[in-house]
Amino acid sequence: MASPPHPNLELRPLGNTGLKLSCVGFGASPLGSVFGPVSEHDAISSVREAFHLGINFFDTSPYYGGTLSEKMLGKGLKALGVPRNEYIVSTKCGRYLEGFDFSAERVTKSIDESLARLQLDYVDILQCHDIEFGSLDQIVNETIPALQKLKEAGKIRFIGITGLPLSVFTYVLDRVPPGTVDVILSYCRYSINDSTLADLLPYLKSKGVGVISASPLAMGLLTENGPPEWHPASAELKSTCQAAAAFCKAKGKNISKLAMQYSLANKDISSVLVGMNSVRQVKENVYAATELATFGKDQETLSEVEAILSPVKNQTWPSGIQES
Ligand code: NAD
| pLDDT grade for 103, boundaries at 50, 70 and 90 | very high
Rounded CA gap, 123 and 218, in Å? 26
Residue with CA nearest ligand 1 atom 27:
215
| 70, 118 Cβ separation under 8 angstroms | yes
Return the DSSP state at 160.
Answer: E
Which CATH superfamily, name and number, covers 11-221+266-278?
A: NADP-dependent oxidoreductase domain (3.20.20.100)
| 291, 261 Cβ separation under 8 angstroms | yes
The mean per-residue pLDDT over the stretch 271-287 comes to: 97
By three-state DSSP, how is residue 209 classified?
A: coil
pLDDT of residue 321: 44
Report the separation in Å between the CA atom of 266 and the middle of ligand 1, taken as the mean of its atom positions.
18
| pLDDT grade for 8, boundaries at 50, 70 and 90 | confident
pLDDT of residue 75: 98
Report the separation in Å between the CA atom of 157 and the middle of ligand 1, taken as the mean of its atom positions.
24
Look over the chain and give the mean of its residue pLDDT values, rounded to a whole number: 95
Q: Name the pairing type of β-strands 20-22 and 11-13.
A: antiparallel
pLDDT of residue 78: 98
Report the separation in Å between the CA atom of 71 and the middle of ligand 1, taken as the mean of its atom positions.
18
Say if residue 34's pLDDT is above 90. Answer: no
Residue with CA nearest ligand 1 atom 25:
275
| pLDDT grade for 85, boundaries at 50, 70 and 90 | very high
> Global pTM?
0.96
pLDDT of residue 36: 87
> What are the Cα distances from residue 269, in Å, to 20, 88, 95?
12, 16, 25
Ligand 1 site-directed mutation target among 187, 194, 237, most atoms within 8 Å of CB: 187
Pocket lining: 256 vs ligand 1, CB cutoff 6 Å:
yes
Active site residue 287: no
Rounded CA gap, 280 and 247, in Å? 22
List pLDDT tens digits, range 211-247.
999 999 999 999 999 999 999 999 999 999 999 999 9
Say if residue 5's pLDDT is above 80. Answer: no
Residue with CA nearest ligand 1 atom 14:
276
List the chain domain ranges: 11-221+266-278
